[in-house]
């Protein structure tokens, strides 16, 4: 194998491995986003009325939640 072919092969393999690594990272991030989305939907469904969830995603990952009072707490309060 000539040195030119060997060099081009090494460069090509390097680019393919880099691309594969980026693809795996993207798949992991998408999977994590779906898990977080399902969790937020489940959380929102069990919170009492008057509750609020503010979410900032895209690597900021800030979630603020204020929990409203339940009907029993309003009746006794």
CA atoms within 13 A on the CB side of 24: 6
State pLDDT tens for residues 11-69. 999 999 999 999 999 999 899 889 988 988 888 888 888 888 877 777 777 777 788 77
Q: What's the pLDDT score for residue 73?
A: 59
pTM of structure: 0.61
| pLDDT score of 76 more than 70 | no
CB contact at 8 A, 38 and 58: no
Q: What's the pLDDT score for residue 22?
A: 97
Query: How far apart are the C-alpha atoms of 20 and 14, rounded to whole Å?
Result: 10
Q: What's the pLDDT score for residue 63?
A: 76
- DSSP letter at 54 equals E
Q: What's the pLDDT score for residue 37?
A: 86
């Amino acid at each position: 194998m000539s040195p030119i072919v060997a060099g081009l092969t090494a460069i090509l393999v390097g680019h393919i491995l880099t691309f594969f690594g980026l693809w795996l990272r993207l798949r992991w991030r998408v999977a994590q986003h779906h898990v977080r989305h399902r969790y937020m939907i489940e959380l929102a469904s069990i919170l009492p009325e008057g509750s609020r969830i503010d979410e900032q995603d895209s690597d900021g990952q800030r979630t603020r939640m204020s929990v409203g009072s339940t009907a029993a707490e309003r009746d006794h309060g």
